[in-house]
Amino acid sequence: MKVESSQRLAAVKPYIFAKIAQKRKLVAARGVDIVDLGRGGPDQPPYGEALEELAVRAADPALYSYTPYTGSPELGQAIEDWYQRRFKAKVSAADVALLPGSKGGLSRLFLALCNPGDLVLLPDPAFPAYVAAATISQLQIHTVPLTAERGWLPELKVIRKDALRRAKLILLNYPNNPTGAMVPPEFITELLDWAEETETLVVWDNAYSFITYGDYQPLSIFSDPRGAELAIEFHTFSKAYAMAGARIAFAAGNSEAIALLRRIELYYQAGIFAPTLAAATVALNEGDEAVAMGLAEYTARRELFSAKLDELDWEHELPGGATYFWLRLPGGRDDLSFCDDLLEKHGVVLTPGSAFGEQGVGYVRASITVSQEKITEAFRRIGEFLA
């Protein structure tokens, strides 16, 4: 029996990280020791008390039944308190949707808010899952270029008027993947002014909210009270809290949009595992110090990475946030062949910039989610490759 792909799935480009993982597996099978600077997931352990809470609750047979779609009252209260403590922002648990990971939640938000043929504004470069989710939802995509000249920030005023008239939403992500760019607080004001004027919903993917460096401070779209009406903000426990495998996240904001996201989630999930809810509650209530310790390690790696780039005379910008260096390749080299050859010949994984959009051509993304020892070893090999 022949089984064919749907048109919507066939329209999606092969997922770059799956392709890299397959090539990595083939090279490793030859006995090559791989240093993976392409991975986005954290390598640090979760907050200890949250891990202990998960282990204790997981041993309770009574907690293996379905859970409410709204999660637990304890986690709802923890989210409210966390927003107030960390961002001085007021968020009601009634306007929160719990999600088994923000990647899937963002995808289903498109399905909940948009009809086939609707237009959405997506940044370029951007996390490839954004474009894939919009494509599967059969949406039209109008790209908003992010450029080095503007510090990888969107120029909202130049978005075409015909696109603005049709746009259902704009999706932005800061601290930014893949560029590591941050936004100044005044950009939040500018963005919400624009959203109010154009009546465009802002979807703010805040996955890396607490991974910021130097003078940059974590920001929420709700730092401006208008955000509660004009935006939806996604947070995940995967990055700063290092709970990627637990698959838990949440979205908050505009009450009507959150209600629709909650509604569609009813058909895609059956609640989040109770021990995971308990662990997430502990992480939010007690994990601030652990987040700071994780950031200290990322900061040390950032400095080491920059020093190693300097040794190679590789011009670069320090990331203001997230866990990535966004590097223009020297000599105008092709990013796809560069990454392929580096992995094949020296066992070092980088992600080609073109995987993130047209604005990424000629760049590579390098992650600092590996130890300082592995960073040093990676650069020894990269130096040999460039020699």
pLDDT tens-place string over residues 345-381 = 999 999 999 999 999 999 999 999 999 999 999 999 9
What pLDDT is attached to residue 229?
Answer: 97
Number of alpha carbons in the 13 Å side-chain half-sphere of residue 231? 28
Bridge partners for 97 per DSSP: 251
Architecture label for domain 48-286: 3-Layer(aba) Sandwich (3.40)
pLDDT tens-place string over residues 8-29 = 999 998 888 888 889 989 999 9
What pLDDT is attached to residue 133?
Answer: 96
Domains in the chain: boundaries: 7-45+289-386, 48-286
What pLDDT is attached to residue 378?
Answer: 98
pLDDT tens-place string over residues 196-215 = 999 999 999 999 999 999 98
What pLDDT is attached to residue 282?
Answer: 97
Bridge partners for 124 per DSSP: 145
What DSSP character marks residue 270?
-
* Coil vs helix vs strand at 77: helix
What pLDDT is attached to residue 69?
Answer: 85
Query: Exposed e or buried b for every residue in 271-306, given b needs 16+ CB within 10 A?
Result: bbbbbbbbbbbbbbbebeebbeebbeebeebbebbb
What pLDDT is attached to residue 86?
Answer: 94
Q: Which residue ranges in the chain fall short of pLDDT 50?
A: none
User: Tell me, which fold does domain 7-45+289-386 have in CATH?
Assistant: Aspartate Aminotransferase, domain 1 (3.90.1150)
